A and B are shown apart, each in its own frame.
Chain A
Amino acid sequence: MSVAANVSAGAHAHDEHHEHKENFITKYIFSTDHKMIGKQFLLTGMLWALIGGFLSVIFRLQLGFPEMKLEWLRPLLGEWIQVDGSLDPEFYLALVTMHGTIMVFFVLTAGLSGTFSNFLIPLQIGARDMASGFMNMLSYWFFFLSSVIMLTSLFIETGPAAGGWVVYPPLSALPQAIQGSGLGMTLWLVAMVFFIVSSLLGGINYIATVINLRTKGMSFSRLPLTIWAFFLTAVIGLLSFPVLFAAALLLVFDRSFGTSFYLSDIYIQGEALPNMGGSPILYQHLFWFLGHPEVYIVLLPALGITSEIIATNSRKPIFGYKAMIISMLGITVLSFVVWAHHMFVSGLNPFLGSIFMFLTLIIAVPSAVKVFNYLTTLWKGNIIFTPAMLFSIGLVSFFISGGLTGIFLGNSAIDIQLHDTYFVVAHFHLVMGSASFFGLMAGVYHWFPKMFGKMMDAKLGYIHFWLTFVGVYMVFFPMHYIGIAGFPRRYYSWSNFEFANSFTDLNMFVSVAAILTFVAQFVFLFNFFWSMYRGKKAPLNPWRSNTLEWTTPLEPVHGNWPGEIPTVYRWPYDYSKPGAEEDFIPQTVPYSQTPESNLPHEQQFVDEEREDAADDVVVANEHKH
């Protein structure tokens, strides 16, 4: 297997490799290198995940142990712990809101897409860097700015936004309705505006890079599924985030400039407000026009990552490569026409509800296809359970469990009862939250050797996986029962209601499981930072994978490949090809070198390769003259 050698031997004199003089600031802070920016997103995302997770631990304490005295949290939360040692109900709502906002946007959008789109797109398509390194840097720093503002809002006196992560007006528009709708909500909106800017700058870059900077031979039909997923994710983001921007802008107008886009007929705190003619439903339409595609912005990259990891570690081609792409395309398009299923009982015209019910359940079909394809990829494989592989299998499990409950919720007649109950909480935490989180984890374990040149400890990875996998199910599976029993979301306590005055034991169980799962993440953190400095040096291609990133040096330099960028000759999933000596054939190996394993229809590629090579010689000769 002397392919890599071949490629670098063929390196021309016009070497694009030029070493920059870098200082600490240009290398680690204002870096324009996609790999460093990816790592910046990863570390910031991890920090946010810890904060978001910690917030959920606090409110799970309240839900599982309503009698508990929380004075010990006073140094951190101050007045939000009431005199009798209980959590302030308004701060409870703020916690829920910030947990949602942080997890959806800062962890699973920026932390996942930001990390892996940045890190992997140039490496896997064979590019020196992103189309615009500068824009890429801006993307991170707008995200950073947004993070700082959002974080600040946690510590102000009136508390952060508290109207749920969807921040529906009028609640989010009226500071007199809830304290969090004062300065906290303003900061939320400002932070989200910067977040959207960051997201768009990133997205435009990903799209431009995938379209324009693919190396020779890397046609769209040879792209790894990771890249397809990142590409389509960026397209979804580019089309939907501006709509959130519009929604936020109108909300800013209503809050600060006396307009009535969302406000009408309001009498609050003994005063009738002058606003007339606005519609809170308008906000919901605009919000969910982003909100639903956002689910796929979070999920698709995770699905792309697992497609790659499952194929590699099953030592089998991903089953139905084309079907996987078509279903992702289907999901991309359909994700824009299902938003109103979040609004079946919002007062929406029931006819519109019918339309959205049909559209919603159509989107279940490509999702089902993906699951069956994953299962068939495992079938008759030669499966190696790396931590990344385990997390990918975990993702498939969550995707099934959470996806199936979507069929209940997408059915408007059934949704009447289940809407805004814990059934919904269970559903989206499994299908979107945990599944995407597992995708993120799988990605970190899999590409850690490429990021830091070191191996993570596998045993700790196994421990981390099993604790988290079992923990996540212990947290979210019981919520289905609580939801079927009708327990509403965003409730500080259920004891006011007779119908919801049970299952205290189950809620306690969920809370304990949530805390254990949170603690288990420190196993990962230890492994991550320990391995970064003290881990075993990684081999060049530790998972014996086909994709291009493993042809770079152990720690890729600025520009990724020291010599010429390798040419791609085949798709990325030639694992265990009959006749081949090894159980993998990297994308850089020409068909002409593998006569023993070429399939009948692949013989023509050998001829094409010859013609291409001849052309190259001609071109090179012309250059000389």
Chain B
Amino acid sequence: MLGFIIGIGVLLLISILLMIFRIQSLVSVVKGSDKKRATGSNKWNAALGMIFLLGTGFLFFWYSFKEFDNYQLPVASEHGVVTDGLFWTTMAVTGIVFVITHILLFWFGYKYQYKENGKALYYPDNNKLELIWTVVPAVVLALLIFTGWRAWVDITEKAPEGSEEVEIMGYQFAWAVRYPGEDKKIGDYDFRLIDGSNQFGMDLTDESSLDDFVAPNVMVLPKGKPVLFKIRSRDVLHSVFAPHFRLKMDAVPGMPTRFWFTPTKTTAEMREETGNPDFTYEIACTEVCGRSHFAMRYRVEVVEPAEYEAWLAKQSSWLSQNPEYMEKVPDDLKGVAQVIVDQEKIIQK
């Protein structure tokens, strides 16, 4: 019944609109305004342009200032401060151009609207002007690019010696994180070794994988030390996105990628800064990867270096948690593996 009434209402509305349309077109024929080169609508359109300019101009500035703290995510990495600086510099430059060109666009429309006796200026070209507005944007852009390029080179440089290495692997639909263990070296892997427990495909014939451990459900990182993410995927493309660290890098099956950065604020400090006692650093996926692409959340906790070392010491290697894989360790490494497992048991106690 309700649907029927709505249907009738819509029909009525449409027929009223049609009626108005017919009446106005007949009126314009009677008035002869359809013969004129520019009707009264011309003024209206010119004026609406100015109203649009002023109205949206106001909204733009008002909202941008009012909501600044909401859309500007706090930054927590060294290079993030640099790229944020670049972002806002570019915003200032382009903002000025944006405002000026729009003022000209609508103001010209208003000022030079059709006049019965008016005549446009015949002004087909001016090479000097063309040259100016080729060279000036080129120079400004060159400056912007150059600073951007310098930052890019620094960011993508080889990670400094002694960086903390962490492996992060994307799969449908979660992230898995592996630490190198005491030897600070992440072991080899092969996707053909992946099974239900060995989700990384860890190659236990490589000595450095024996002490590797898998992060429980949160990635812990030290503040102030360079961290190198070794990124890979085992099925489709994913992309590691840690918004507060201004970090993003695709995870590509068959082609490991990397990104290094230095966290500058602990989670506790961020909680204080944002006034949000539940603040957590997060990693999201930004390369469409299937049904639950929107749910690939992983938590990151940044702590003071001492606390980090303590946390590291508490972790036990993957091998010690999956003793049945001991048989996959080749004979010449069995001794080493056993030592690692035993040591951990002592520490745990």
**CB within 8 A of A397: which of B60, B105, B149, B192?**
B105
Given known contacts A170-B235, A361-B141, A379 and B108 CB-to-CB distance under 8 angstroms:
yes
Please indicate the chain B residues that have their CB under 8 angstroms from the CB of A466 in the complex. Answer: 48
- Considering only CB atoms, which chain B residue lies closest to A180 in the complex? B290
Contacts of A497 in B (CB 8 A): 282, 284, 297
Asked if A457 contacts B42 (CB within 8 A), the reply is no
Q: Which residues of A contact B123 (CB under 8 A)?
A: 316-317, 319, 376, 379-380
Does A364 count as interface, using CB distance less than 8 angstroms?
yes
Task: Judge whether A459 and B243 touch: CB under 8 Å.
Answer: no
Contact A414 B148 (CB under 8 A): yes
A151-190 contacts to B (CB < 8 Å): 163-164, 168, 170-171, 174, 177-178
**Surface stretch bound by A, among B79-87, B203-211, B219-227, B307-315:** B79-87
Whether B248 lies near A345 (C-beta < 8 A) is: yes
A598 at the interface (CB under 8 A from B): no
Q: Chain A residues with Cβ under 8 A from B287's Cβ?
A: 168, 420
Known interface pairs A280-B252, A385-B45. Does A364 touch B241 (Cβ–Cβ under 8 Å)?
A: no
The reply to whether A178 and B291 form a contact with Cβ atoms under 8 Å apart is yes
Chain A residues whose C-beta falls within 8 Å of the C-beta of B248 in the assembled complex: 345, 416-417, 419-420
Is B21 positioned at the interface, with any CB of A under 8 Å from its CB? yes
Contacts of B252 in A (CB 8 A): 280-281, 346-347
Contact B282 A266, beta carbon cutoff 8 Å: no
Are B137 and A576 in contact, CB atoms less than 8 angstroms apart?
A: no
Closest to A313 in B: B114
In the complex, the answer to whether A364 meets B141 with C-beta atoms within 8 Å is yes
Which of A89, A353, A489 has a CB less than 8 Å from the CB of B291?
A89
B46 x A417 contact (CB < 8 A): no
Binds A, one of B126-134, B160-168, B323-331, B336-344: B126-134
Structural contact, B293 and A492, CB atoms closer than 8 A = yes
Residues of A within 8 A of B4 (CB): none
User: Does chain B have a CB within 8 A of A553?
Assistant: no
| B120 touching A381, Cβ below 8 Å | yes
Can you list 24 A-B pairs with a CB-CB distance of less than 8 A?
A93-B291, A163-B288, A164-B288, A170-B235, A171-B236, A171-B290, A272-B191, A277-B254, A345-B249, A345-B250, A361-B141, A375-B101, A380-B121, A407-B94, A411-B90, A413-B155, A420-B239, A481-B63, A481-B64, A481-B71, A491-B293, A494-B294, A499-B73, A573-B124
CA separation between A281 and B37, bound complex, in Å?
57
Q: Are A382 and B145 in contact (CB under 8 A)?
A: no
| Cα distance, A401 to B57, chains bound together (Å) | 13
Most B Cβ at <10 Å: residue of A268, A320, A345, A536 = A345
CB contact list, B236-269 vs A, under 8 A:
236-237, 239, 241, 243-244, 246-250, 252-255, 257
Residue of B nearest to A372 (CB): B133
B133, A369: Cβ atoms under 8 Å? yes
Which of B67, B137, B142, B151 meets A368, CB within 8 Å?
A: B137
Q: Which of A264, A491, A499 contacts B253 (CB 8 A)?
A: A264
Q: CB distance A484 to B56 under 8 Å?
A: no
List residues of chain B with CB within 8 A of the CB of A65.
none
Scoring A278, A414, A421, A486 by chain B CB atoms within 10 A of each residue's CB, the highest score goes to A414
Write out, one digit per residue, whether chain A residues 72-92 have a CB within 8 A of any chain B CB (1) or not (0).
000000000000000001100
Of A270, A385, A413, A494, which one neighbours B148 at CB under 8 angstroms? Answer: A413
Q: Is A390 an interface residue (CB 8 A)?
A: yes
Which A residues lie within 8 Å of B288 (CB)?
93, 163-164, 168, 171, 489-490
Interface pair A266/B235, CB less than 8 Å apart = yes
Residue of chain B at shortest CB distance from A580? B122
Q: When each residue 317-336 of chain A gets 1 if its CB lies under 8 Å from chain B and 0 otherwise, what string results?
A: 11111110000000000000
Write the nearest CB–CB distance from B100 to chain A, whole angstroms: 10
Tell which of A397, A400, A416, A488 touches B155, judged by Cβ atoms closer than 8 Å: A416
Q: CB distance A499 to B244 under 8 Å?
A: yes
> Residue on A with the closest CB to B44?
A462
Q: In this assembly, does B321 line the interface, its C-beta being within 8 Å of a C-beta of chain A?
A: no
Query: Shortest Cβ distance from B314 into chain A, in angstroms?
Result: 26
Residues of B within 8 A of A177 (CB): 172, 235-236, 289-290
Q: How far is the CA of A404 from the CA of B284 in the complex (A)?
A: 27
Which B residues lie within 8 Å of A421 (CB)? 286
Complex contact A320–B148 (CB within 8 A): no
Identify A93's interface contact among B21, B71, B104, B293, CB under 8 A.
B293
A279 touches B255 (CB 8 A): yes
B214 to chain A, nearest CB (A): 16
Q: For A347, list chain B residues within 8 Å (CB).
A: 249-250, 252, 255, 257
B56 to A381, Cβ gap below 8 A?
no
In the complex, B118 has a CB within 8 A of chain A: yes
Q: Which residues of B contact A170 (CB under 8 A)?
A: 235-237, 253
A127 adjacent to chain B (CB < 8 Å): no
What are the interface flags for A373-401 relative to B under an 8 Å C-beta threshold, 1 for contact and 0 otherwise?
10110111111110000100100110011
Nearest residue (CB) in B for A406 is B94
Residue B15 is within 8 A (CB to CB) of chain A in the complex: no
Per the bound structure, the CA–CA distance linking A375 and B97 in Å amounts to 13
- Choose among B39, B90, B104, B122 the residue with the greatest number of A CB atoms under 10 Å from its CB: B122
A346, A369, A493: the one within 8 Å of B130 (CB)? A369
Q: Is A350 in contact with B153, judged by CB distance below 8 angstroms?
A: yes
Contacts of A414 in B (CB 8 A): 83, 86-87, 90, 148
Q: Which residues of A contact B134 (CB under 8 A)?
A: 365, 368-369
Residue A15 CB within 8 A of the other chain: no
Known A-B contacts: A380-B112, A491-B294, A503-B71. Give 16 more (CB < 8 A). A90-B291, A177-B290, A268-B234, A314-B112, A317-B123, A319-B126, A320-B125, A372-B133, A393-B109, A400-B97, A407-B94, A417-B248, A477-B56, A481-B64, A498-B282, A576-B120
Contact A383 B113 (CB under 8 A): yes
A76 to B144, CA, bound (A): 50
Contacts A264-B253, A347-B249, A397-B102 known; A272 to B290 CB distance under 8 Å?
Answer: no
In the assembled complex, A357 has its CB within 8 A of some CB on chain B: yes
Task: Flag if A265 contacts B246 (CB, 8 Å).
Answer: no
- CA distance in complex: A492, B284 (Å): 13
Give the chain A neighbours of B282 by CB distance below 8 A. 497-499
Cβ-closest 6 pairs across A and B: A264-B254, A350-B156, A486-B243, A385-B45, A347-B257, A411-B148
Give Cα distance in the complex from A416 to B196, angstroms. 34
Residues A412 and B235 in contact, CB atoms below 8 Å apart: no
Chain B residues lying within 8 Å of A401, measured Cβ to Cβ, are 98
A228 within 8 A of B: no
CB proximity of B191 to chain A, nearest CB, Å = 4
| Cβ contact within 8 Å between B138 and A365 | yes
**Min CB–CB distance A564 → chain B (angstroms):** 30
- Is B24 in contact with chain A by the CB < 8 A criterion? yes
**Residue numbers in A under 8 Å from B118 (CB-CB):** 382
**Contacts A365-B141, A459-B41; A379 near B112 (Cβ below 8 A):** yes
Contact of B62 with A by CB under 8 A: no
How far is B144's CA from A496's CA once the two chains are assembled, in angstroms?
Answer: 36
Task: Out of B80, B105, B254, B291, name the residue touching A279 (CB < 8 Å).
Answer: B254
What residues of B have a CB within 8 angstroms of the CB of A606 in the complex? none
> Is the CB of A234 closer than 8 A to any CB of chain B?
no
Q: Which residues of B are found within 8 Å of A419, using beta-carbon distances?
A: 248, 286
* Chain A residue with the shortest CB-CB distance to B238: A171
Do residues A404 and B97 form an inter-chain contact, with CB atoms below 8 A? yes
- The reply to whether B124 and A400 contact each other, CB–CB distance below 8 Å, is no
Contact B145 A357 (CB under 8 A): yes
Is the pair B137, A364 in contact by a Cβ cutoff of 8 Å?
yes
Are A382 and B120 CB-contacts (below 8 A) given A404-B94, A482-B71, A498-B280?
yes
